[in-house]
Structure 1
Amino acid sequence: MAFDWKDDTQVKEFIHSLGIEYRFGCYKEKKPEVCHLLGDYLESIKKDYNKAGKVYQSNCDDYNFGRSCYKFGTYTLLGRGRQAVDPGVAYKYYCKGCELGVSESCWNAGLMCLHNRLNAGNMKDYHKGLELLDKGCEGNDPLCCYYIGSLYITGVQEASIQKDMDKARRYSEKSCELGNIHACVNVSQMYQRGDGVAKDEAKGEMYKKRAAELQDELVKQQQTLTFQQGTKPV
């Protein structure tokens, strides 16, 4: 018999069965990827953030599942569910998620170092922040690559990080390739001005065109989203 998504009873039965399946896969079969799905189920379907947080934490601690480390880091940073707001704990879990290959976790941990979000009174740690962002960039996170490129464009005097346009270009080019508009603009300007790199107007135009293409894609995505949501009747 075909499943009818318009039938509320069938939908409720499906959701209930899904929860049972995830619990079995997590608690009985001890599959980390299923435990993470259980956390997502508790978070998005049941809206039980307290239980979801516990699942994410144990899945990180017991099974080293990076995405669960990332999620629990966010829970402790925001105080979601019954979790107390604790930037130090959040940073610990973000770092673990980063080491386990979750680039978004590298991004959050790196920013916490660069913007003094570890705990009250801590100094900024630019070098550790760059190390974390670099790992995220290696994992093809465009924001991590862009941020590093931006830091090398100006340098950071208080951290003795020298301006390095060659590094700025390399990180920015990778970020652009991964779809970051601002990185494309930065690289375009570098080549057009010959700022720290050999002047190359052709390459400057190429990256400028790439930025324009990404901007057009973004506008189309926003228009599609608006169309799908519909307009509010007058």
Structure 2
Amino acid sequence: MTKDFTKIIIGCIGLAFFCSCVYITYTNRPIYKLDKKCNLDDGKSCTELGLIYIKNRTKQDLQKSVELFNKACDLSDGDGCLNLGYAYEYSQGIEQNILLANDLYKKACKLNNGAACARLAFQYSKGIGVNQDKVKAAEFYKKSCELGDILGCRNLGVFYEQGIGIEQDYATAFNLYAKGCDLNDGSSCAFLGNLFGRGVGVRRDNFKAADLFLKACNLNDGYGCFLLGSAYESGSGVRRNLLGAKKFISDKL
């Protein structure tokens, strides 16, 4: 039997552009071209140039990246505001200021940056620099999802599944997880499989659950691997295999 457990994943705790779950990817455009366009007040180019400076990780380069993100944000580039917010929140090239970071996430969210809305939702859900407010968190996750942010959709699904700040609705949670899984978000596949394994919001199907856990694990989701290992351990939807269970549970967590 699968464990009755669902976790909220916000992506990497830290600067998102340093992690595998990046919101923003580095550009292949030459630096001189980005610099030229940034000097012509192209906000996106300023942000991309700032991300290149981030890669070097020296104090001087981090400070330069902050300057570029600040310029990009002033030019109403949502990604620039988002990354400037991360810099303030995690003291990367500038003194830490959580309140200012949240203001920047709000600005980016108003500029329809889905990742910023998701980050702001997390701040409200945990009470980081703001009064904890699960209802507001749900609202921002909803906006994030509407803007196409997979992480926002996944966490909105968790809110619907558990009734956090919003009326519990298993069918909506199911659809949000399915959407993320179709887009190869491993955690969404794991959460979807968990619904099938528990028979929550859908007819119980341990075989379908195991297939989804396998997909999640193949997408390098540790929770999916754990659930797959648990399925092998109990023989739920798969042939019981204690060696396989040990491998997936121990190697992926």
Q: What TM-score comes out, normalization by structure 1 length? A: 0.70
Provide the rounded CA distance (Å) in 1 between the counterparts of 2:56 and 2:183. 32
Indicate yes or no: 2:42 matched with 1:31. Answer: yes
Amino acid at match of 2:141: L
1:184 positional shift: 2.3
Q: In the TM superposition, what is the alpha-carbon distance from 1:71 to its structure 2 partner?
A: 0.7
Distance 1:168 1:152 in 2: 5
Paired position in structure 1 for 2:65: 52
Point out where structure 1 has 5 or more consecutive residues left out of the alignment: 1-17, 220-234
Cα deviation, residue 52, structure 1: 1.4
Decide whether the 8 Å contact of 1:185 with 1:208 is kept in 2: no
1:169-199 Cα distance to aligned partner (Å, 9 max, x none):
22222222222333323333434544234x2
User: Which structure has more RCO (C-alpha within 8 Å, separation ≥ 6)?
Assistant: 2
1:180 aligns with 2:188: no
Greater gyration radius? 1
Q: Of residues 195, 203, 223 in structure 1, which corresponds to 2:200? A: 195
CA distance in 2, matches of 1:187, 1:22: 41
Cα distance in 2 for residues equivalent to 1:91 and 1:150: 23
**In the alignment, is the contact (CA less than 8 A) between 2:186 and 2:217 conserved in 1?**
yes
Deviation at residue 132 of structure 1 after TM alignment: 1.6
Aligned-residue offset at 1:45: 4.3
Show the counterpart of 2:52: 41
* Counterpart residue number, 1:94: 105
Q: Percent identity?
A: 22
Aligned to 2:132, the other structure's residue is in SS state coil
Cα 1:169–1:77, aligned 2, differ >3 Å: closer, same or farther? same
TM-score (norm. length: structure 2): 0.65
Structure 1 position 124, deviation (Å): 0.8
- Give, in angstroms, the shift of residue 101 of structure 1: 3.5
Letter in 2 for 1:53: V
CA distance in 2, matches of 1:146, 1:19: 35
How many Å separate the matches in 1 of 2:33 and 2:126? 42
**Structure 1 residues 163 and 20 mapped into 2: Cα distance closer, same or farther (>3 Å)?**
closer
Instruction: Report what 2:142 is aligned to.
Output: 134
1:91-125 Cα shifts (integer Å, max 9, x gaps): 1111222333333222211100100002xxx4211
| Contact 2:43 2:80 (8 Å CA) reproduced | no
**Shift in alpha-carbon separation, 1:100–1:211, aligned structure 2, 3 A:** farther
Q: Which has the higher helix share?
A: 1
Gapped regions of structure 2 (runs ≥ 5)? 1-29, 222-253
Cα distance change, pair 177–21 in 1 and its aligned pair in 2 (3 A): closer
Aligned 8 A contact 2:81 2:107 in 1: yes
- Inter-partner Cα distance in structure 2 for 1:39 and 1:190: 41
* In 2, Cα distance between equivalents of 1:72 and 1:111: 17
Distance 1:137 1:71 in 2: 19
Task: Specify whether residues 215 and 138 from structure 1 end up closer, same or farther in structure 2 by C-alpha distance, changes over 3 A only.
Answer: same
102-111 or 180-189, larger mean C-alpha shift: 180-189
Render the CA deviation track for 1:131-153: whole Å, top value 9, x for unaligned.
22122222333322221212222
1:9-24 correspondence runs (5 A)? 19-24=31-36
Q: CA 1:182/1:208 → structure 2, altered by over 3 Å: closer, same or farther?
A: farther
Q: CA deviation at 1:20?
A: 4.4
